[in-house]
Amino acid sequence: MLPKAEIPPLNKAPGTGPLPIRPSSSVILLSPANQVLLLHRVAKSTSFASAHVFPGGNLSSFHEGDDYPLPKDAELHRDSEAYRLAAVRETFEESGILLARRQDGGGLLELSEEELEEGRREVFGDRVKFTAWLEGKGGEADIENLIPFTRWITPQNQRKRFTTQMYLYMLPLNTTTAESQTRTVVQTPTHDGGVEHTAALFDSPSTWLAKASAGEIILYPPQFYLLTLISRFLPKQSSNYDEQREKLISFLRRVPTSSVKHPTSDIPWAEKVMSPEVVSFAKQGSYGNGRVILGLAKPGQELMDSGRGGDVERVVLVDFRKEEVEEVKEEQTEGGEVVKKVVKTAVRVPRDLEVMERAEAMAMAAAPEKKGKGSSKL
């Protein structure tokens, strides 16, 4: 049984220390064809505005109150039943995809589109507890098949802070044998009506990364980093999905996690905690000068003496810049006509992201400026 704990207060009086950390969960959801689901957040969002993100969100005292993590203890930053329930619930609320199993042990819970949409509205509106709604449908959240895959803690200098448990979830593969054929019914992902997201789509990790590099979508460092890690195991040119998953799972279980001799190398991916910090600036590289080098080895101030940590071998290079993002809004006139308007918002977004070995990045930071493209690798 995973640990249980109490509900933490999320409000803190101003001037009394660091801002409170909001516990949240996020899911890297793989389709039967090993594509990854990303959601496009609205431009008016207070966090990750206009970015493409994994489904996920904050833990809820209403839905996960019985299993909520401790407010100040280190257990706040560990995988628990509360984080897992929130991951399944938020994925359902945000995309309509229900990661649940039948209580009788008969596999994934399958419901009609009408039942799913009605349940989605009821759960999102806090009119019924998620677990109670599932039980009424003869199901339970499939928390056992969530694979912990790093935790991210927002640095202390940020306006809003989160401790986010990342999970990997693999929808069952479609299989065909001489005796039988099984096909997983995957609900078509849909956005939440524009409340927080305007699109929900599956695509290959390499395609998402290519779109980010081309400036077509916005990815933040955690999403870019995790997609980069898994992309080499899920090439879109191959259709041997079972073999891809075996290699990915083998990578996630492997210890040490890097070739660099360091205490963090002995921390498995399920236990790694990363709080990005600026360690230097790149003076040369494939996108020009001045990109920030974000280190991922430290777990943040709250866990500095806990023996936990992240990835000492890799860093993320990123250029944070102000850009105008566009959002299409529909407004109804007095005559009843629906008019679409484009609203522009200036936001600070990450661009020119790249994951590379820390040693190589630090050499770029120390080297004199010169023209030419740097190399990118894991």
Q: What is the pLDDT of residues 242-300, one digit of tens each?
A: 999 999 999 999 999 998 899 999 999 999 999 999 999 988 655 456 799 999 999 99
Does 185 score more than 60 pLDDT?
Answer: no
Per-residue pLDDT band for 192 (boundaries 50, 70, 90) equals low
Q: How many residues does the chain have?
A: 378
- For 197-225, what is each residue's pLDDT tens digit? 556 899 999 999 999 999 999 999 999 99
C-alpha–C-alpha distance, residues 325 and 157, integer Å:
24
CA angle, 73 as apex, 18 and 129 as ends, to 5°? 95
Taking alpha carbons only, the member of 107, 114, 111, 84 closest to residue 98 is 111
Residue 3 has pLDDT above 90, yes or no: no
The answer to whether 348 and 43 are in contact (CB under 8 A) is no
Q: Pick the range with the lowest mean pLDDT from 51-55, 65-69, 88-92, 346-350.
A: 65-69
How far apart, in Å, are the Cα atoms of 16 and each of 6, 20, 220, 300? 22, 10, 29, 19
Three-state SS for 271?
A: coil
Q: Tell me what the mean pLDDT of segment 101-108 comes to.
A: 89
Compute the average pLDDT of residues 169-179. 72
Look at residue 252 and give its three-state secondary structure: helix
Q: Does 70 score more than 70 pLDDT? A: no
Distance CA(302)–CA(69), nearest Å, equals: 15
Q: What is the DSSP pairing of strand 161-170 with strand 21-30?
A: parallel
In the block, which residue shows the tokens 């927002």?
154
DSSP code at position 108: B
CA dist., res. 113 & res. 33, Å (int): 22
Question: Cβ contacts of residue 144 below 8 Å, gap of 6+?
Answer: none
Q: Which two tokens stand for residue 95?
A: 């995309």
**Contact status, residue 15 vs residue 22, Cβ threshold 8 Å:** no
Tokens 């809003």 sit on residue: 160
Average pLDDT of span 58-83: 84
Taking the chain, what is the end-to-end CA distance rounded to the nearest angstrom?
Answer: 36
